[in-house]
Amino acid sequence: KVGRQPSYDYRFKVLFIGDRGVGKSCLFQRFQNPFYNVLMSTMTIGLDIDNESFKYDSKFVHLEVIDTAGQEQFFSVQAMYFRGIHGIFLVCDVTNRETFHHIPRWLELAHLHCTESNALIILIGNKIDQVEKRQVSYDEGQALAKCHGLSYMEASALDAERIEDMYRNMIQLLT
Ligand code: GTP
Ligand code: MG
């Protein structure tokens, strides 16, 4: 354990925020474990941290990913979680319009507490597999993101490929 500190080309800290129940933990867990049972996900208390390192475009990337609790809406995510964060996945649930309406408030919180002046925020519209229950269209998500200068992506915790795309996109925009 001595002197074997791996060196990375990039080290990033990425944070998940958004209302309770939008699927943050599912998107977070499925990244570290593709066999994570999405349907068994339970409410997050406090926060969860995962460290992953991999090769991306011939560069060694180290990601520290932090999952937070949406429990008490904007009050449970504390200022300290934003310290040193490079990228944020701001998640809403396309089957629950209220979570979409709360996006501006989450953005205020992020802008207030981010210590990195150029922290990158990607808006994620999750649960698109629930076609019948959809309340927020792709165009609405895209428009809101654009209005705030963010990227927009749609996801489903049941779709591993889209989750991979989310992370790939984040790293691409950060590097
Ligand atoms: P908090 O930890 O309370 O802030 O919630 P969270 O955002 O972490 O939500 P979580 O990932 O625990 O998911 C909440 C519920 O939504 C669970 O019952 C999941 O099974 C379900 N869920 C999450 N993502 C998806 C998705 O993409 N599609 C479907 N159909 N269900 C999902
Ligand atoms: Mg959670």
Q: Give the Å distances, CA to CA, from 118 to 35, 75, 100, 115.
A: 34, 23, 23, 9
ipTM for the predicted complex: 0.99
Position 118: which residue type?
A: N
What residue owns the CA closest to ligand 1's atom 10?
23
Assessment of whether the complete model's pTM goes beyond 0.90: yes
- For residue range 156-174, list pLDDT tens digits in order: 999 999 999 999 999 999 9
At residue 63, φ and ψ (nearest 5 deg) are: -115, 130
Beta bridge partners of 124: 91, 153
Residue of 26, 43, 103 best suited for mutating to test ligand 1, as the one with most atoms within 8 Å of CB: 26
Ligand 1 pocket residue status of 25, Cβ below 6 Å:
yes
- For residue range 67-123, list pLDDT tens digits in order: 999 887 666 677 889 999 999 999 999 999 999 999 999 999 999 999 888 899 999
Signed CA dihedral, 96, 89, 36, 73: sign only: negative
Measured CA to CA, the distance from residue 155 to residue 158 in angstroms comes to 9
CA-closest candidate to residue 32, choices 147, 167, 154, 169: 167
